[in-house]
Amino acid sequence: MAKSAGVAIGYLSERSGLAVSAIRYYETQGLLEPWRNAGGQRRFHRADIRRLSFIMIAQQFGFSLPEIRGFLKTLPGGRTPTPEDWARISTGFRDHLDARIETLQKMRDNLDGCIGCGCLSLPKCALYNPQDQAAKKGKGPRYLMGDSPELDAAPEKGA
Amino acid sequence: MAKSAGVAIGYLSERSGLAVSAIRYYETQGLLEPWRNAGGQRRFHRADIRRLSFIMIAQQFGFSLPEIRGFLKTLPGGRTPTPEDWARISTGFRDHLDARIETLQKMRDNLDGCIGCGCLSLPKCALYNPQDQAAKKGKGPRYLMGDSPELDAAPEKGA
DNA sequence: GCTTGAGCTAAAGTTAGGTTTAGAAATTAT
DNA sequence: ATAATTTCTAAACCTAACTTTAGCTCAAGC
């Protein structure tokens, strides 16, 4: 179980396409745990290339680095993930993706219902309250695309 | 065509759910053009509530503020958008949404093909090169989820 | 007319996910 | 042995989209 020589950060960078600085950053975020050689340089497992690929894929799926760290914690420490490890995580990805697709399709349907309707003063507009899941942190408007029913009835007063 | 009194920023904030600071920020980004009253305070058209709602919706569709500014420039200056104005922009939204849905569905299909495959050393993995459209700015890995075919054949040398 | 609330500006801070810079030390190549 | 690469750390910088803070001024209520 000797650690072998390990590979340098530049090797991982070249193999993964990530910048050296990004790999160091991932270490600060707890996504990788390299050891140091006698001269103080980082040394990685060859298998960490997969960890990096995993990170890149998970980012494409919209996961944040803390979330990805959570996934990686479920992976076995030093060894290569087994098919089971990977299948478990992939299934999580799938749920995530399905939810996002569903949200987008709902938005599209709402939009379809709205195209041509004018949306001039429509508190009942289909885009009324789209922030189902994919919404940001903010509170969001209460009356999207329109004022509240009564208060905005008057047109350009004084025109 | 006198400007009437206009409404204050706090009114827009309350009606839209946006923070006052966000509305000011949008002005700096060219999304709104309030005028000033005698005391130097911002005064807005009532119809600017709709501009704000528009901004919030467009953000949910994934557009950046510069992009939204582009949309708003196609809207009529001081008046309420007509059904035609809105339909034109909605169609743009729709294309955008369709593209995103399609990308996600492709990713899901790739993922389905990958679940259970193990992905231990798979340069031919279906997640090989997912950055079709929705990819980030980065270059992306050349061999996702695996080292290149030949070089990574050896398992934990020295174990 | 005084007090309080709303609004003003400029500048700094925030979060995520990194990159860039600078200067020093280690490693590799010749 | 020397030169050229890499790597190291710490700190500053970057973008987007805002928020917060500080110190004032304006407007509104009684």
Collect all residues of chain B within an 8 Å Cβ-Cβ radius of residue A130. 57, 60
Q: What percent of chain B has pLDDT over 90?
A: 30
- Which candidate, B121, B117, B114, places its Cα nearest to that of B154? B121
Q: Minimal Cα distance from A159: which residue of B?
A: B1
Residue contact B53–A18, C-beta within 8 A: no
Q: Which two tokens stand for residue A25?
A: 């950053």
Q: How confident is the model at residue A154 (pLDDT cuts 50, 70, 90)?
A: very low
* Under 8 Å between Cβ of A90 and A97: no
CA torsion, ordered B124, B127, B132, B138, to nearest 10 deg = -100
- In Å, what is the separation between the CA of A42 and the C1' of D8? 9
pLDDT digits (tens, 9 = 90+) for B129-153: 433 323 333 333 434 444 443 333 3
Beta strands in B40-115 (DSSP E): 42-43
The gap from C-alpha A20 to its chain's centroid, in whole angstroms, comes to 22
pLDDT digits (tens, 9 = 90+) for A107-151: 888 777 766 555 533 334 545 443 332 333 333 344 444 444 333
State the DSSP code for B7. Answer: B
- A140 phi-psi bin (left φ>0, alpha ψ -120 to 50, beta other): left
Q: How confident is the model at residue A43 (pLDDT cuts 50, 70, 90)?
A: very high
Residue B116 reports pLDDT greater than 60: no
Nucleotide nearest to A66 (CA to C1'): C16
Among B91, B120, B144, beta carbon nearest to A57: B144
Q: What is the rounded average pLDDT of the residues A4-32?
A: 94
Beta strands in B8-131 (DSSP E): 35-36, 42-43
Instruction: Please compute Rg for chain B using Cα positions.
Output: 25
Nucleotide nearest to B67 (CA to C1'): D16
* Under 8 Å between Cβ of B16 and A146: no
Tokens 């839209």 belong to which residue?
B16
* Under 8 Å between Cβ of B115 and A93: no
Q: Report phi then psi at A146, rounded to 5.
A: -170, 160
